[in-house]
Amino acid sequence: MISIKQLNKSYKVGEITTTIIKELDLNVDQGEFMAIVGPSGSGKSTLLNLIGCLDRPDQGQILIDGTDVTKLTNKESSRFRAEHLGFIFQDFNLIESFTVFENIEFPLSTILKQKNTRAKVESILDAIGMSEQIDKYPDQLSGGQKQRVAVARALVVEPQIILADEPTANLDSLSAQKVLELMKMMQKKFKTTFIFSTHDEKIMRVAERIVTLQDGAIVKDTKEMK
Ligand code: ADP
Ligand code: MG
């Protein structure tokens, strides 16, 4: 469902052009739970941003369910993001003045213009074991709980793909493990494709597929080895 062909991305700083993603090919099937690993600066965030239509490549193709997202206009790509993609960030990105309910409800009501969203939000909170926190504010939650809310917010619109850039980097190892297990449980329940980057060896073990980047190229893919 995701087919990446000959992807290239470079950044120009002053006179110097640095290639960040080099002739990268990658196919990801529906419902995969995949980790992107590699040293800092290897291009993990750049690749996730390209798949997430938050950045554009210099060359190459990214087909998501047949749509080449590299060819979309800015307006089309924001629509595509809203309809097909969910994002989870390292620093949670919750709205501090909103309750847990309001944070999760926000994409449903504001972006997808849905009404009567209460039951949907309640059922996802129940699924992540956080029903009792529904009226709390982010500053009343632990880091692990905040990231669970962010997972729920990404899932509530039922995207086909969830992209998460180091979602556990700001969590202690027990919370990190729990958030990852929650992501995996939700991926099974909703058949969502999950692609996340991580540095953490323990987290990698939860992944069903691990793609290793080095200097913007894939140097190892556990799927190819099977
Ligand atoms: P990772 O997430 O694996 O740490 P990144 O994708 O963030 O790697 O970055 C890869 C390289 O691209 C780094 O060397 C970084 O400095 C460079 N880079 C990332 N974004 C930009 C940008 N907007 N302008 C210039 N260089 C950038
Ligand atoms: Mg990064």
For the chain, domain boundaries:
2-223
Give the right CATH number for 2-223 from 3.40.640.10, 3.40.50.300, 3.90.70.10, 3.90.1150.10: 3.40.50.300
Mean per-residue pLDDT, 6-24: 95
Distance from residue 41's CA to the centre of ligand 1 (Å): 6
Q: What pLDDT does residue 226 have?
A: 64
Tens-place pLDDT, residues 201-226: 878 888 999 999 999 999 999 997 76
Q: Which ligand is nearest to the CA of 47?
A: 1
Q: Which atom of ligand 1 is nearest to the CA of 197?
A: 2
The dihedral sign for the CA sequence 66, 34, 111, 113: positive
Q: Which DSSP symbol is given to 112?
A: S
Mean per-residue pLDDT, 94-112: 92
Exposure of 79 in the CB half-sphere (CA atoms within 13 A): 6
Distance from residue 166's CA to the centre of ligand 2 (Å): 7
Nearest CA to ligand 1 atom 6: 43
Nearest CA to ligand 1 atom 21: 11
Q: Which atom of ligand 1 is nearest to the CA of 38?
A: 3
Q: Which ligand is nearest to the CA of 12?
A: 1
Percent of the chain with pLDDT over 70: 100
Q: What pLDDT does residue 121 have?
A: 94
For the Cβ of 42 lying below 6 angstroms from any atom of ligand 1, the answer is yes
When the pLDDT of each residue in the chain is averaged and rounded to a whole number, the result is 92
Mean per-residue pLDDT, 53-62: 96
Residue spans of alpha helices (H) in 1-159: 44-51, 74-84, 100-106, 118-127, 143-155
Q: Which DSSP symbol is given to 73?
A: -
Q: pTM of whole model > 0.85?
A: yes
Does 57 have pLDDT greater than 70?
yes
Exposure of 135 in the CB half-sphere (CA atoms within 13 A): 0
Mean per-residue pLDDT, 134-156: 94
Does 127 have pLDDT greater than 90?
no
Q: Which ligand is nearest to the CA of 10?
A: 1
Mean per-residue pLDDT, 83-91: 92
Nearest CA to ligand 1 atom 25: 11
Tens-place pLDDT, residues 157-199: 889 999 999 999 988 888 888 888 888 888 888 889 999 999 8
Structure tokens at 136: 């709390």
Q: What pLDDT does residue 107 have?
A: 87
> Are the beta carbons of 175 and 169 closer than 8 angstroms?
no
Distance from residue 91's CA to the centre of ligand 1 (Å): 18
> Are the beta carbons of 180 and 4 closer than 8 angstroms?
no
pLDDT range class, residue 70, cuts 50, 70, 90: very high
CA distance 98 to 137: 6
